[in-house]
Homo-oligomer: A and B are copies of this chain.
Amino acid sequence: MQFTAQDIAFVLNGTVEGDPLVTVNRLAKIEEGTPGSLTFLSNPKYEQHLYTTDASIAIVNSNLQLSAPVKATLIRVENAYSAFTILLEKYNTYKLHKEGIEQPSFIHETATLGENVYVGAFAYIGPGVKIGNNSKIYPHTYVGDNVTIGNDCTLFANVKVYFDCVLGNNVIIHSGAVIGSDGFGFAPNPDGTYTKIPQIGNVVLANDVEVGSNTTVDRATMGSTVLHNGVKLDNLVQIAHNVEIGANTVIAAQTGISGSTKLGENVLLGGQVGVVGHISLAKGTQAQAQSGIGKTIKEENTKVAGSPAFAYGSQMRSNIVIQRLPELEKRVNELEKIIAQLKAGE
């Protein structure tokens, strides 16, 4: 894919300064521009990079006044940032374009596929599966019995969705994620062994959910583990059985939510956070990376940190004193000595 400056100017309704026939095939930050790449300058703070960049084309604001010569061909547009975002989207759509049914793939005779669905080679679409329009099932992805997938979804290579799970529209799942594996439930026996508790529920991912690579979302024991609209999970996150996550909650990598816990809307959890089971976090709760949350948080927009987690500000102040603890202990030792002397001298 090669584009000339004049092609791009035409799309963006911009004007070309320099060679209109120079070509590019990729996008780059201005400080990382190399020949063949297209970049942009929006923030005046980075203007000096414009005079040194090796990018072949730079999109700039129409009112930019140059203070030195520029090697790159310029395309002047009203808003360089918006124009670049448009190109970014177009580039991404182009890169992720896939269509048709590759062979060999396995599509059970009882499965139903909407229009314009992509099925990669070695994908497995089980009995009773329903897939909406414009969804993409990449190679090696497994869609178990009776799974429902909405429109405009992307399941990248090697996603695994166990039986009976339900995905809404515009859901994105990255490679290696597992949706609907058994919840971790065992009943102890008197002899020290455990009996597995059947996990017969499912997982429901609502619209606009994104799930990161190698993240795991367990099915409910009964009922559903639910991620509401717009939930975003990073990589290697663990969501246990019967958890419910409110709309637009964002969870960073390697965080784990234990069984039956409920997160409100617009919660923000940093990386490597742990949340115990059977509690709830109010709307807008924020937790710093590596927090360990052991209790229900009722007040909205609470910020916590630490393990065990408590109020963010208090935790920061305690953290500072922790660094001075050996000194603090010495000071107490010293006080005790002085007091003993004072008492002796009374």
Contact = CB atoms under 8 A, between A and B. Distances in A.
Interface of A: 27-29, 32, 88-89, 91-92, 95, 102, 104, 106, 120-122, 124, 138-140, 142, 144-145, 156-158, 160, 162-164, 172, 174-176, 178, 181-182, 184, 186, 192-194, 196, 198-200, 208, 210, 212-214, 216, 218, 222-223, 229-230, 232, 234-236, 238, 240, 247-248, 250, 252-254, 256, 258, 265-266, 271-272, 274, 276, 289-290, 292, 307-308, 310, 314, 317-326, 328-329, 331-332, 335-336, 338-339, 342-343, 345-346
Query: Which residue, of A196, A212, A308, has the highest number of chain B Cβ atoms within 10 A?
Result: A308
What copy number does this chain have within its complex?
A: 3
A324 B326 CA distance: 11
B235 A238 contact: yes
Would you list the 4 A-B pairs with minimal beta carbon distance, nearest first?
A92-B198, A181-B213, A178-B213, A321-B325
A106 B196 CA distance: 31
A332 B321 CA distance: 12
Contacts of A28: 222-223
Prevailing SS type, chain A contact patch: loop
A322 B318 CA distance: 6
Contacts of A184: 212, 232, 234-235, 252-253
A106 B186 CA distance: 34
Contacts of A176: 160, 176, 178, 214, 216
A218 B96 CA distance: 16
Given A236-B238, A310-B323, 11 more contacts: A27-B222, A29-B223, A106-B139, A122-B122, A140-B142, A193-B230, A213-B218, A318-B323, A320-B326, A322-B325, A338-B339
Contacts of A162: 156-157, 175
Nearest to A104: B104
B158 A158 contact: yes
B124 A142 contact: no
Nearest to A311: B323
A67 to B, nearest CB: 26
Nearest to A319: B308
Contacts of A182: 172, 174, 212
Contact of A122 (B124, B230, B310): B124
